[in-house]
């Protein structure tokens, strides 16, 4: 017996039927993003490890525990992207996109890689829609981004979601808050999990990300960042919330929403769905006003969000929509060749056409067409070949008519 080589844990095959749903979702995403002026950008799947260490942050769980890092044959340390933002920022700097007149609004859909514990809603290769806008300080853009996410979910018929918002302050106000937080966390250290005990020293803000129940209970008593914002951050947050209301959006302020990534400044937000269970965030994002500068680029602020496509797909109502197609049934060698040319003609005119090359009786070809859900069957036998007229059967009405190649095309185009 030969050994089977199964798929890697935490990865998932997207089979044809499901791929159809992905394509439909991707088309809606693309349309909505472009309505808001976003253009697609595509960057490589792997980057220098340093990019994520510096961008995502050395105290984030992603960098500490979850990166797929390897050394290539040239001795460079590379990492499969665990998230997208640092790659976009790098691309802007590399191509000096900020000097071009186009708005700095980008979107992308593709796979991300994290060595996470596989479970429902958590995979090691998963897909994200990533949306980023740069050089916009105004809190109106923070609200517009949430409004766009809300519209996208509405277009995809995702119901029962909740929008959570917060501000995580900036370089001016966060350090003194972190000091207070550390002092408090130090007092409760014995109650925290091993991981969080380490975070007390490295970055106590990350304790809020911990999923361990006892840590969450302890964190509830911690001082809240929203009460320690500097005037600029407080004003920004106030205006952001006011713009959300202006757009008619409902939201809840969640002072513990710090998100697992180190680079956020001011606004953070998440849209969650009760249908998702423990991993309830469909999307999350925030502002990162210092990243570009810290990567050696211009001093340009940014804000964006990432939406998990697997999670999104799991809350989208399923609708089965079959595309119409024609099954070409043939009898004999001559009919096979004519059938091949007829298929070629119809496909080139945009008609989906299936012809299978296993010689079968007409009866079994008809039953196969039925099983596959064909809209029409085109029957090509020796007589039909001689006449240049073929039997077109409408599988819904059962009606069968003799038609020329051009007539067949006309009938199908009219029906589609
Ligand atoms: P993050 O990049 O961690 O802010 O996550 C943004 C979104 O990506 C989350 O709200 C999830 O929908 C999705 N996501 C993050 N990690 C995973 C994962 N391991 N598997 C599946 N989806 C994920």
Burial 236-266 (b: 16+ CB within 10 A, else e): bbebbbebbeeeebebeebbbbbbbbbbbbb
Q: Could you tell me what percentage of the chain is helix, strand and coil, using 3-state DSSP and rounding each to the nearest 5?
A: 45, 20, 35
Average pLDDT estimate for 45-68: 93
Q: What pLDDT was estimated at residue 59?
A: 83
Point out the ligand 1 atom lying closest to the alpha carbon of residue 124: 19
259: pLDDT strictly greater than 90: no
Cα–Cα distance measured from residue 28 to residue 68, given in angstroms and rounded to the nearest whole number: 31
109 lines ligand 1 (CB under 6 A): no
CA distances from residue 106 to 92, 306, 309 in whole angstroms, order as listed: 10, 12, 17
Q: What pLDDT was estimated at residue 211?
A: 81
Nearest Cα residue to atom 4 of ligand 1: 284
Residues in contact with 10: Cβ distance below 8 Å, sequence separation at least 6, in sequence order? 116, 118, 122, 123, 124, 125
Nearest Cα residue to atom 8 of ligand 1: 308
126 lines ligand 1 (CB under 6 A): yes
Reported as a single tens digit per residue, the pLDDT across 200-256 is 988 898 898 888 889 999 999 899 999 999 999 999 999 999 999 999 999 999 998
Cα–Cα distance measured from residue 297 to residue 55, given in angstroms and rounded to the nearest whole number: 13
Cα–Cα distance measured from residue 240 to residue 35, given in angstroms and rounded to the nearest whole number: 22
Point out the ligand 1 atom lying closest to the alpha carbon of residue 83: 2
Q: What pLDDT was estimated at residue 318?
A: 82
Reported as a single tens digit per residue, the pLDDT across 34-43 is 999 999 999 9
Average pLDDT estimate for 319-340: 92
349 lines ligand 1 (CB under 6 A): no
Q: What pLDDT was estimated at residue 210?
A: 86
Nearest Cα residue to atom 10 of ligand 1: 283
Which pairs count as long-range contacts for 178-182, CB under 8 Å and 24+ apart, including other chains? 178/203, 178/204, 178/205, 180/223, 180/228, 181/205, 181/222, 181/223
CA distances from residue 322 to 21, 110, 325, 366 in whole angstroms, order as listed: 11, 26, 9, 19
310 lines ligand 1 (CB under 6 A): yes
Question: Under DSSP, is residue 146 helix (H, G, I), strand (E, B) or coil?
Answer: helix
Reported as a single tens digit per residue, the pLDDT across 120-178 is 889 999 999 999 999 999 999 999 999 999 999 999 999 999 999 999 999 999 999 99
Average pLDDT estimate for 280-307: 95
- Confidence bin at 416 (pLDDT 50/70/90): confident
Ligand 1 midpoint to CA 103 (Å): 27
**Which of 60, 304, 306, 313 has the most ligand 1 atoms within 8 A of CB, as the residue to mutate?**
306
Residues recorded for the chain: 416
Cβ atoms 257, 164 nearer than 8 A: yes
- Confidence bin at 402 (pLDDT 50/70/90): very high
- Confidence bin at 404 (pLDDT 50/70/90): very high
In a 13 Å sphere around the CA of 216, the CA atoms on its Cβ side amount to: 6
12 lines ligand 1 (CB under 6 A): no
Q: What is the pTM of this model?
A: 0.91
Residue 259 DSSP label: -
The share of the chain scoring above pLDDT 70, in percent, equals 100
Residue 97 DSSP label: G
Average pLDDT taken over every residue of the chain = 94
76: pLDDT strictly greater than 90: yes
269 lines ligand 1 (CB under 6 A): no
Ligand 1 midpoint to CA 83 (Å): 9
């Amino acid at each position: 017996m030969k050994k089977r080589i199964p798929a890697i844990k935490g990865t998932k095959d997207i089979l044809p039927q499901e791929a159809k749903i992905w394509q439909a979702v991707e088309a809606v995403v693309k349309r909505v993003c472009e309505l808001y002026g976003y253009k697609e950008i595509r960057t490589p799947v792997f980057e220098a490890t340093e990019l994520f260490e510096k961008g995502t942050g050395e105290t984030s769980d992603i960098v500490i525990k979850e990166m797929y890092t390897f050394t290539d044959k040239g001795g460079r340390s590379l990492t499969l992207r665990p998230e997208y933002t640092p790659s976009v920022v790098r691309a802007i700097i590399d191509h000096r996109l900020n000097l071009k007149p186009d708005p700095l609004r980008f979107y992308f859909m593709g796979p991300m890689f994290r060595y996470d514990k596989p479970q429902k809603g958590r995979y090691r290769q998963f897909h994200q829609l990533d949306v980023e806008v740069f050089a916009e300080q105004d809190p109106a853009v923070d609200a517009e981004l949430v409004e766009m996410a809300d519209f996208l979910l509405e277009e995809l018929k995702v119901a029962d979601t909740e929008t959570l918002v917060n501000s995580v302050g900036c370089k001016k106000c966060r350090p003194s808050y972190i000091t207070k937080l550390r002092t408090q966390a130090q007092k409760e250290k014995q109650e925290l999990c091993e991981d969080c005990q380490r975070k007390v020293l490295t970055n106590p803000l990350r304790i809020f990300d911990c999923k361990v129940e006892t840590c969450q209970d302890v964190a509830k008593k911690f001082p809240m960042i929203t009460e320690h914002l500097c005037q600029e951050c407080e004003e920004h947050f106030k205006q952001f919330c006011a713009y959300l209301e202006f757009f008619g959006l409902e939201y809840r302020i969640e002072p513990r929403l710090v998100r697992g990534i180190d680079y956020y400044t001011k606004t953070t937000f998440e849209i969650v769905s009760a249908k998702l269970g423990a991993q309830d965030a469909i999307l999350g994002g925030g502002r990162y006003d210092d990243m570009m500068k810290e990567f050696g680029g211009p001093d340009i602020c940014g804000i964006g969000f990432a939406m998990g496509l697997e999670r999104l797909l799991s809350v989208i109502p399923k609708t089965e929509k079959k595309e119409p197609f024609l099954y070409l049934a043939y009898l004999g060698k001559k009919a096979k060749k004519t059938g091949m040319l007829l298929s070629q003609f119809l496909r080139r005119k945009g008609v989906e056409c299936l012809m299978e090359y296993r010689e079968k009786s007409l009866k079994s070809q008809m039953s196969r067409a039925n099983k596959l859900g064909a809209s029409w069957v085109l029957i090509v036998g020796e007589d039909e070949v001689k006449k240049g007229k073929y039997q077109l059967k409408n599988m819904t009405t059962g009606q069968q008519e003799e038609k020329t190649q051009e007539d067949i095309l006309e009938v199908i185009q009219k029906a589609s």
